[in-house]
Amino acid sequence: MAYNHSFVFGFEKQYDHSLFNDYMHRHWQDSFIYSAVYVLVVFCGKKWMENRPRYDLRPYLATWSAVLGIFSIFGAVRTVPELISSVRDYGLEYSLCVPSYFEGVTGFWCFMFAVSKVYELGDTIFIVLRKQQLIFLHWYHHITVLIYVWYTYPANLGFGRWFMGMNYAVHSIMYTYYALRAMRFNIPKFVSILITLLQLTQMIIGCTVTYLTHQMNQRGIKCGQSEQPVKYGMIMYGTYFILFAHFFYTSYIVEKPKVRSAEMNGKKKS
C-alpha cells in the first residue's frame, strides 16, 4: 500500500513509474558506460592537472553542493516517513520485501534517486580541478552506487526503501556541510566526524538489511525474484564499511605527525 502523503506536488502526481521502469529494464547497463567515461575523465583530468595551477572554484562548488543538499533534504522529507511507516505499521518483513514505495510520491523520488547517481559523479571534477587528494573510497563509492542502483531498480526490491531513505538523509547533511565549507563558514571539526559516523552507521544498517533479506529468502519468504541483488548488496555495503572505517581511523584517530616548532621557525628563517 502506497504511503499517503498529506500534500502532493503536481510533478509528483504526473510521474509515471511504468515509463521509467521500462526504460531502466532496457538501459540499466548504461551505468557501466557512465562509469567508464567517469573514470576516463577523472584520471585523465588528474594527469592533465599535474603541472598546472589548481583552480579555486569555490562559488561553483558551493552552488553544486547546495543544489545537492537541497535536493537531498527534499528527498529525505518525502521518503524517510514512508520507510518509518513501513516498519512501524506493517513490520520489518514488509519493509524488506514489499516494494510499495515505487508507487505515488516515493515512486517519483525513487526515480530522482536513480538519476541523481549520475549527477553526483560531477563531485569528483571539483577534486581534480582543485588538486585535492582523490582517495579510492571516493571514486569506488560513486561507481558502485550508480551501477547497483541502476541494476536493482528494474527488480523493484523492497529493501531498496532502506537504501534510498538512508542515502537521502545522510546526503542532506553531508552536502549542506560541503556547501557551507565552500562558502568559508567555520564549521567545527565534530561535524565532519559526525558525518563520517553517520556514513558508517548507514553501512552497518545496509549490511544488516541485506543479511536479513538473505535470511528471509533462505526461509522461503521471497523478497524479490533473485538472490543476486541481495548478495551484491552485502558485498557492496561490506566493502563500504571497511573503507569508511579505515577513513575514519586515519582521519580522526591516528595522530598526524607534527613538525616541531623549532624546525618550523628554522624553515621560516631560511
Task: Say if residue 267's pLDDT is above 70.
Answer: no
Residue 141 covered by a domain: yes
265 found inside a domain:
no
pLDDT in tens, 71-109: 999 999 999 999 999 999 999 999 999 999 998 999 999
Q: Scanning the structure block, which residue is given the C-alpha cell 521518503? A: 79
- Does residue 263 fall inside a structural domain? no
pLDDT of residue 190: 93
Quick check: 152 and 229 in contact, CB under 8 A? yes
Determine the average pLDDT of the residues in 55-66.
96
Rounded Cα–Cα distance for residues 101 and 85 (Å): 11
| Residues belonging to the active site | 141
pLDDT at 235 over 90: yes
Task: With respect to residue 268, please indicate whether it lies within any of the assigned structural domains.
Answer: no
Average per-residue pLDDT for the chain:
92
Nearest CA-CA partner of 143 in 167, 123, 164, 163: 123
Looking up cell 583530468 gives 45
Please check whether residue 219 lies inside any domain of the structure: yes
pLDDT of residue 181: 96
- Distance between CA atoms of residues 91 and 261, nearest Å: 59
Task: Write down the pLDDT at residue 2.
Answer: 75
Alpha-carbon span 130 to 57, nearest angstrom: 7
Please state, in angstroms and rounded to a whole number, the distance separating the CA atoms of residues 111 and 17.
8
pLDDT above 70 covers a percentage of the chain that reads 94
Q: How would residue 262 be classed by pLDDT, with cut points 50, 70 and 90?
A: very low
- Report the number of distinct structural domains present in the chain: 1
Residue 157 lies in a domain: yes
Residue 154 lies in a domain: yes
pLDDT above 90: residue 270: no
Dist CA 237 CA 215 (whole Å): 17
Mean pLDDT, residues 235-261 taken together: 84
**Has residue 151 been placed in a domain?**
yes
